[in-house]
């Protein structure tokens, strides 16, 4: 604790502030916007659509698993590091070509969702949501790699702040903007599918901003290039086939072990299914490598070396770092799944939800993000990370107060302001921390691993948030979510003390 509190400031306030006008920092505003649009359309805004369509709260909670692609980004991140996109990579470069592919898939998924009525076909909506989650997660892999490769380490905190600002602007459009548009187009009593269809088609057009940005930015310099061993079409196809067979083994294994619908045993059973399916996929992949599908050197370079590099650099403390990464977001992610459902059940109109939680909240988040960037540049990552963790846990508990007050707009605005301000500070510091853990030779893969771990456990638990609310009520649920925020605070103190100083 003393090491954390007595760390000296890194630079002056004026020096920290001037870094915000760096072209590299400003470029992240647009990339952040592109990344921020899809996430709410598969998460928060979608939950309002589903609730208005009459979908049960428990089912909406399970729908959050559509975003589990964010928790498995590390599985296909090595392909993005290693494989060029045919034709496009020669024109745009490795990062920009993959960015364009991901954005194209996002457009297709959004159109699929727009043309699907959950009342008529909830399963099709789930498939479309999973596709959007996968495509959006792929875009995040590329944007994160670009951010780390485009600037030196001491700019990462401010680049994170700019990224968060752009991200939240994208969320404003996909959150408050989408809800506002759906409300304006809602011309019938009760549920109006046509309003939501037009809204999601409008979001397809909004993603054009991301595509334009992809063509404007320049390709960053990279210390590594796609492997020289991929020197033929046959090598390329066999490399992709390895991933495809391993992914199929994961899906097949997960299905094979079946589901358990008992709420009291559901979490542990689903966790077991997940672990068993991952182990089966790894076993299939190793067997295919030994059978000669691709060379063992290429397999090691792609899938083993990035993880071995991290453990070699951090040694035993690597496990503590991974535990911190896995739990830092657990409090707000678990709470966040039920937030919009909570507002609807409390009696707020969807336009009120959009204006306060997405519109007004955006200002607080952007201010918090830039505060986090400045604090990180001034005092360092670990101090800011600890402060952000405390603020997130405390502000999550404020929702319990709101639960007992009914649809009070002023109280909602106050809670949202505090929650989003603290979330902005914590997010800027956490993104900077994760960026500092990566090695430039394995940027996309290592950061994808860290960001996947950041969301995997919280989202797995969050899938049961609907059941928790049904059993405990909103007030107890929010207090419980705040209490589990103590776990990462303890881990921060241990990691700060044990990590060797540079």
Q: Using 50, 70 and 90 to split pLDDT, how confident is the model at 498?
A: confident
Q: Using 50, 70 and 90 to split pLDDT, how confident is the model at 269?
A: low
Q: Which pLDDT value is given to residue 230?
A: 54
pTM of this structure: 0.73
Q: What is the pLDDT of residues 191-246, one digit of tens each?
A: 889 899 999 999 999 999 889 889 988 888 765 544 444 555 676 777 778 878 88
User: What is the C-alpha separation between 151 and 122, in angstroms, rounded?
Assistant: 44
| Fold entry, domain 2-218+232-498 | Growth Hormone; Chain: A; (1.20.1250)
User: What is the C-alpha separation between 279 and 218, in angstroms, rounded?
Assistant: 39
Q: Which pLDDT value is given to residue 136?
A: 92
Is pLDDT at 502 greater than 60 in this prediction?
A: no
Residue 148 tokens, joined: 């780390």
Nearest to 81, CA basis, from 256, 226, 283? 226
Any alpha helices (H) in 329-380, and if so which ranges? 330-337, 339-346, 350-353, 361-379
User: What is the C-alpha separation between 158 and 164, in angstroms, rounded?
Assistant: 10
Residue 111 tokens, joined: 């159109």
CB 400 within 8 A of CB 474: yes
User: What is the C-alpha separation between 17 and 161, in angstroms, rounded?
Assistant: 12
Residue that the structure tokens 């928060």 belong to:
44
Could you say which DSSP state residue 268 is in? Answer: H
CB 174 within 8 A of CB 38: yes
If one counts every other C-beta atom within 10 angstroms of the C-beta of residue 331, the result is 27
> Which CA distances in Å does 357 have to 266, 343, 467?
31, 10, 24
Phi-psi region of 496 (alpha: psi -120 to 50; beta: other; left: phi over 0): alpha
Q: Give the mean pLDDT of the chain.
A: 81
User: What is the C-alpha separation between 485 and 389, in angstroms, rounded?
Assistant: 7
Nearest to 141, CA basis, from 241, 213, 71? 71
Cα 85–chain centre separation: 24
Three state DSSP letters for 405-463? CCCCHHHHHHHHHHHHHHHHHHHHHHHHHHHHHCCHHHHHHHHHHHHHHHHHHHHHHHC
Q: Say which residues have a Cβ less than 8 Å from residue 180's Cβ, sequence separation at least 6.
A: 351, 354, 355
CB 318 within 8 A of CB 499: no
E strand or H helix at 207: none
Greater pLDDT, 241 or 43: 241
Q: What is the pLDDT of residues 157-174, one digit of tens each?
A: 778 788 888 887 888 888
Q: What is the pLDDT of residues 317-375, one digit of tens each?
A: 999 999 999 899 888 888 877 887 888 888 887 778 877 876 778 788 888 888 888 88
Helix, strand, or coil (residue 317): helix
Q: Which pLDDT value is given to residue 225?
A: 47
CB 417 within 8 A of CB 364: yes
CB 424 within 8 A of CB 369: yes
Residue 296 tokens, joined: 């063992």
Residue 39 tokens, joined: 């996430």
For range 122-144, the mean pLDDT: 89
User: What is the C-alpha separation between 395 and 165, in angstroms, rounded?
Assistant: 20
User: What is the C-alpha separation between 106 and 130, in angstroms, rounded?
Assistant: 11
Helix, strand, or coil (residue 190): coil
Q: Say which residues have a Cβ less than 8 Å from residue 258's Cβ, sequence separation at least 6.
A: 273
Is pLDDT at 264 greater than 50 in this prediction?
A: no
> Which CA distances in Å does 422 have to 103, 224, 415?
30, 37, 11
Residue 187 tokens, joined: 């011309």
Domain ranges for the chain: 2-218+232-498
Residue 37 tokens, joined: 């649009």
Residue 230 tokens, joined: 């991929």
User: What is the C-alpha separation between 346 and 187, in angstroms, rounded?
Assistant: 23
């Amino acid at each position: 604790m003393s090491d954390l509190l007595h760390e000296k400031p890194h630079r002056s306030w004026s020096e920290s502030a001037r870094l915000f006008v760096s072209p590299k920092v400003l470029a992240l505003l647009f990339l952040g916007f592109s990344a921020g649009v899809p996430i709410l359309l598969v998460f928060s805004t979608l939950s309002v659509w589903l609730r208005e369509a009459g979908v049960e709260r428990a089912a909406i909670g399970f729908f959050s698993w559509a975003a589990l692609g964010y928790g498995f980004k590390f599985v296909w991140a090595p392909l993005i590091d290693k494989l060029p996109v045919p034709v496009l990579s020669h024109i745009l470069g490795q990062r920009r070509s993959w960015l364009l592919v991901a954005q194209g898939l996002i457009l297709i998924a959004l159109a699929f969702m727009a043309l699907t009525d959950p009342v008529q076909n909830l399963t099709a909506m789930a498939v479309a949501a999973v596709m959007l989650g996968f495509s959006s997660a792929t875009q995040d892999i590329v944007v994160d790699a670009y951010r780390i490769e485009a600037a030196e380490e001491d700019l990462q905190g401010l680049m994170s702040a700019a990224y968060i600002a752009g991200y939240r602007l994208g969320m404003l459009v996909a959150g408050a903007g989408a809800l506002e548009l759906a409300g304006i187009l809602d011309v019938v009593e009760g549920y109006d599918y046509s309003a939501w269809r037009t809204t999601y088609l409008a979001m397809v057009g909004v993603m054009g901003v991301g595509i334009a940005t992809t063509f404007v930015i320049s390709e960053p310099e990279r210390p590594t290039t796609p492997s020289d061993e991929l020197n033929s079409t046959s090598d390329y196809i066999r490399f992709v086939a390895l991933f495809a067979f391993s992914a199929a083994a994961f899906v097949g294994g997960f299905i094979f072990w079946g589901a358990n619908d008992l709420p009291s045993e559901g979490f542990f059973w689903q966790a077991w299914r997940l672990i068993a399916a991952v182990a089966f996929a790894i076993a299939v992949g190793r067997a295919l490598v030994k059978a000669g599908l691709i060379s063992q050197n290429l397999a090691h370079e792609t899938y083993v070396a990035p993880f071995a590099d991290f453990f070699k650099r951090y040694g035993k403390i690597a496990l503590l770092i991974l535990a911190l990464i896995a739990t830092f977001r657990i409090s707000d992610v678990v709470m966040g799944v039920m937030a919009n459902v909570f507002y609807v059940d409390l009696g707020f109109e969807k336009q009120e939800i959009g204006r306060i939680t997405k519109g007004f909240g955006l200002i607080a988040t952007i201010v918090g993000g830039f505060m986090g960037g400045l604090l990180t540049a001034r005092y360092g990552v670990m101090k800011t990370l600890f402060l952000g963790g405390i603020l997130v846990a405390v502000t999550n508990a404020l929702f319990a107060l709101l639960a007992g007050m009914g649809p009070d707009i002023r109280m909602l605005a106050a809670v949202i302001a505090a929650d989003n301000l603290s979330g902005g500070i914590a997010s800027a510091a956490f993104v900077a921390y994760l960026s500092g853990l990566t090695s430039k030779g394995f940027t996309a893969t290592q950061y994808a691993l860290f960001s996947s771990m950041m969301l995997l456990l919280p989202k797995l638990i969050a899938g049961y948030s609907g059941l928790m609310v049904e059993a405990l009520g909103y007030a107890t649920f929010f207090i419980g979510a705040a209490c589990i925020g103590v776990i990462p605070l303890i881990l921060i103190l241990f990691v700060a003390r044990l990590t060797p100083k540079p």
